[in-house]
Amino acid sequence: MVELFEEPFEGSKEVSYFGLKPLYYKAGVVKTVIGDMPVSVSREDYIKYLFIRHNDIDIFGYYAGFTALNKLHGTTQVPVLQEVRSNEVKEVQEYGVGFGVRFKIYPSDILITHDNYIYLQVLDVVENWYDYFEENRLECIRYAVKRQNLGWGGFEKHLDYYSSQTRRFLKDVFA
């Protein structure tokens, strides 16, 4: 991922998609097997910076929907609609219609932070995509919990926002 900045600097290039605010990055080239390629910023990296994270500490969103299900290995499908939950919006926003991959940004009912985003992402998948797992959903979520080293306490803090089915399922994950 190219490092993005909100203010221009000497030698920077501007990037903006979907009529949103411009961001800036260091111009340059990347060496590849087919030769030197100019540095560029993808629409996904741009959306990620605006609605998910600026770096590994400043996190204010997470991938949701089929995108999250794919990242948690619950499906091999790669969705055309990239869904995100973010603190940065107050109502649902959609970008990229007619550009192939689309982005739909949902507001979050719970403040998303560095400490809770992965818990909320797992809870979101269990709550909203329970019937779409291609493999054993219990084993899939257990694997994600173990791989991310997630403890029960991180889930327990947020369970009141989720259905009884999700609460029962999470208890089974830790049984």
Average pLDDT over every residue of 42-69: 90
Average pLDDT over every residue of 98-110: 88
- Spatial neighbors of 89 by CB under 8 A, at least 6 apart, are 51, 105, 106, 107
User: Domain ranges in the chain?
Assistant: 1-41, 57-173
64: helix, strand or coil: strand
**Structure confidence by residue, pLDDT tens digits, 149-165:** 999 999 999 999 999 99
Supply the Cα-derived Rg of the chain in whole angstroms: 18
Instruction: Centre a 10 Å sphere on the Cβ of residue 71 and count the other Cβ atoms it contains.
Output: 14
* Residue 39 pLDDT exceeds 90: no
Q: Assess contact for 32 and 39: CB atoms under 8 A.
A: no
d(CA 167, CA 18): 38
Q: Assess contact for 143 and 73: CB atoms under 8 A.
A: yes
pTM, entire model:
0.86
